[in-house]
Each structure stands twice: as structure tokens, then as C-alpha cells.
Structure 1
């Protein structure tokens, strides 16, 4: 309940809300406490004091709060969900970690945060990307960076929050620096901004792109790869539209009790020629994809960037992306992996979301 009280009593960040509503968090908490006090007395399991715990050090109180109040009070989850829904609707706010936009749009707070160390981390990450370019060249491989623009940048019109001034030009400045370093980095921001009037390129309730956004990015990356003039082994794929499905995105966890969802129409990709066989076939795979959950093969992946990329390239793609590790760790793992040794790539596509450019780079020994 301590976490719930802190979240409920935080100062409302939406100045547009009527003054009367700014009293609502405290009133709501007092109401919950009053009703809860009565229900607590009537709930036998809540009245059980933990045995064998030290009262003086506070161990007994911590255990009681965690195991009895938080876990056994029957109205706790209902209160949390009710307040989460009211907070989103009345104040336009989510819990720390997300921002509520217009018309059901949610955004990760990471894309709006800044720190004094940002420029240092951006330079460090740029330097590491250049190191990766040099390392891949030892195998004769060329690096292409799929730099994914921030959702908050593409859909700035869906929220009152503004991208901080110090990162306003980050996407294009990083593209310029990478291209200057001889690393092909196709512009995904411009086509995303043009396409959003026709179709969503990011999921409303999720940090990730839609199948349409992934397909558009794959087409632009494939153009950049073809411009390098590399003769890739041919492969043909059939793309098939799957039935539409309702999906609650990863940002809805910051809005307790939320009913917000996305309607997603996934694509599936099937190789149709006689080739294939992956690493165990006679023909190696010339393109390797490294990156984050935007590319990784997971049970929650409905965008299938690897399949879209293979189809756009007309060549098989080895997927070495990993979920939950950011873009740096999967690349480090790939560089020392048996897959790189056994199947040297001609092209390595490195998918990097813009918001990770300011994340601390730690050099391994």
C-alpha cells in the first residue's frame, strides 16, 4: 500500500486539469484508507501478525505489510486499477515510466528524459559503432545501421509533451555522423513521418513499431544494402497477411486498469524457392541481423522485421537480435559467436532504436 499511496499523492503534472481535480488524489486516498480500515478489521487473514520476526528492527512490520496488507487485502488491486484509470482519464497521466497522449497513444518516458552525460554517451556509442565497422571489415563484411527514430519524435502531434531541445536534432545528426564514417544509415524518419497519415508505423500502446512500420523500414534498409553493390545469394519469399488481433502493448502496464489496446494485422513470411537450410545448407547466409526486440524472434513479436527484411532483400537473413538487452550487448555477443565464425556475413544490419543512443556505453575488458 505504501507504493500505492506514493503514486496516488504525487503532484499532478497536467496543469490543464481543473484546480478541483488536483484535490482528488488526496481525497481518493483518504476514501480508500477509510473503507480499507473497516474491511481490514473484517478480514481475518489481515489480522494475523507474522511469527518469528523481530519487532524492534522493523522486520515484523515489513513482513506484515508485504504478506498481509499487500497480498491479502481484497480491495488493494481494485483500488490500484481504479485509481490508474481515473488518473489517466482525468489528468492524462500514467505511472512513472510512461506518458499518456491523445486518442489512446502511450509513450515511454525514456524518449523525453535527458541527463548531463547525454553527449558523452552519444559520442561513446558512436565510437563503438565505428569499432564494430572495423571489426566486421576483418571478415570482409559491411555494416548497415537501421536507426529507428523515436516514437515520440514521429508522433509528436499525439501528445502535449515535447522532445527536449537538446535531443531535437539527435536522429539526423547521428545519421550524418555515421554516414560520414562510411556506415550506411538510411533515413527512416522521413518515410515514417510521411506514412503515418496512411497507417500507424508504431503501435499506440507499445514501444515497438507495427508490422507496417517494420515493412517500411525493411524496404529502406534493403535499398541501402543494394547500393553497396554486394552480390547476395537469391531467395524468394511469400508474404501473407494474418487475421487481425487485439493486443495490449508493453506500455499499458504503466496504466493500471487500462483497457487500451492495439488492433494488429501481422504478416508471415515463408521462403518459397528450393534453397534455404540456414547454417546447415550448402549455401551460407550472407546477411546477418543484429539488434533489439524490434528484430528479435519472440512469442510477442508481431512485426517480424527479419522476415520483412529477407523479403525486401530477396536473400535469407540470419537473425541474431536479442530481446531485453538493448543494441550493444547483442552485437558484442554476435562478434564472438560461433555463428559469425561458421557463417561470415557479407552484410550486417544493426538495428538501433534512437532512444538507446544516450544509454551509458560500458567497455568490456
Structure 2
């Protein structure tokens, strides 16, 4: 009998014993924890101090944004000196970083110290609510406005608006650096490079002239105009190179699609295109031999050099400008003219 009782006991303790416990009995809803008031809920002086902290942070953000704009002018990057570039990047970056940080810290402090922190449960359903429900939602927004103090705490609201508006200014100011600052029309400057009729194509950076017979099928050459070799850094070598740099490739002539007016812009399957991406001006230097595509590494725009460098993918809005080329009496590649259109980004409205 003792043996039989043991078996019954073991069976009763197994999952198959037939004992059933409901989920409601096993897991009880603990409910919301007791609400603990913050010091700002109990002390009006603490509440006022927290409010001052928030709008002070927002106004510090405004000051930091203004500093970033001032740093752009105080440390001009156009000097092209190492210390100027370093200071320009450092001080503008610090200004923008602190401006955004102050907005973030101020917003978090506002939500944790001043806005209502009472817990509540909101039931949701997938269907569109009735008009009564929609009216209730509007009321909820009004309640949220009241609890956050957004409409009532004018100093916080106005300082936040000022901080957000000011945070945009450094970015807008930096756009100025994308255009030449010598008072000339940027489109005209981008349309004129050191390429000209009869200028030899040379390897970058060696400056060696290139014979057409040395350009093999599928090869790609980074090219600069020979006239650029006489330009010193003090006279703007980097600026001129940025406009005149070219990528030259060779394909079979039958692989090239050309309009009738461009039939003589290439030479025996050799074509030359500007390396300046027409999206935002990054150097397009990655050539895929099998597809004849040029890839811009910045934003993945792709250009088909077998079809007048037309855009086949990415955000660029127009083809790369083509440099008309031919050869001289000795077989060296030369330019037939400058680019016939401005190089560079299309946001100058140059296409």
C-alpha cells in the first residue's frame, strides 16, 4: 500500500495530473506603482527654478548657433592654411554641437521636471474612431498642452522656438562656402577651367603627357590639363584642379553611343568626362570596366560613360560634362576646347 500511495503522489505532481490553474489566477495585474511626486510638483520655487533652467539652456543654444556663424567669419577656411582649416572646423563644430546639445538637454529636463508625469493607461483599437472619439482626441491634445505648459509657459516656448530657428543658421551660413567668394558669378567661374584648345592631357599627379596608343581597352586615367602644372598653390592650384580634373577611359568605338554633334568629341574609343559629380561635387573616380559605369562614392550616383555619362542611378540630375579630345601630330591626346557647360553640382541651376 505504501508503494501504491507513492505512485499516486507522483502522478498528482506531474503536468498530466489534470490540475488546471487559470491565467488570471496565476498572473495578477500588479497595477500602476504608487505615484511619487517630484520636488517641482511640491515646491513652487523648485518648479520656477526648473523652468529657468530650461529656457536658459534654449537661449544658450541660440548663443551657440550665433557663435557658429561668427566662427565661420572669424576663421575663414578660404585662407587654405592648416591652422585656419583646423580652427574653422573646430569652432564651427563646437558651436553647432553645443547648440543641438543644449536643445536636447533642455527638452529632456523640461519633460522630466516640469511636464506632467502621472501614469495612465490608454486603450487602443485599430478602427477609426467616431466623431465623439475624435472630439475626445482634440480634448486630449488640449490637456497635453495644459500639462506640458507649452501654451502657458511662454518663456520656455519662445526660447525653444528661438533655439530651433537659430540652430538652422550655421547650416545656411556654411552653404556660402560652396560658392566662390570673389564677387564673381559662380556659374561663369564653373564654366571656365584651364582646359583650352590644344592643351595636352596629362596624368594626375605626375603631369606626364598621354599618347593615345598607351591607353589600353578598359583602362582609366586620372587626368589634369598640362597648363595646370604652371599654376602654383598660391595662385589657386587646388581650386583650378577641382574644376578641371577629368577621368578618361577607353572602350571599343562601337560600344559608344554618341549624338551626331558629339561624334568628334572622342578619339578611337577614348572619352574624357569631368570627375566632379553633378550632385554635390564629390570626385567621381570609381570605374566599373564591365558596365562602363562611373560611381560617385559619396551618394552612389552612377554614370554610363558609354552613353555620354548619363545618370543611371542615384540623386545626380544631369550627365557629367564631356571634354572634347583629339590627338596632336605626335599622337598625344589634347583637348579640342574647354567644357561646353559648367562643371559641378546642379543646384547652381546650370543645366
Taking structure 1 as the reference length, the TM-score comes to 0.23
Query: Which one has the largest radius of gyration?
Result: 2
Larger relative contact order (Cα-Cα within 8 Å, sequence gap ≥ 6) = 1
Taking structure 2 as the reference length, the TM-score comes to 0.24
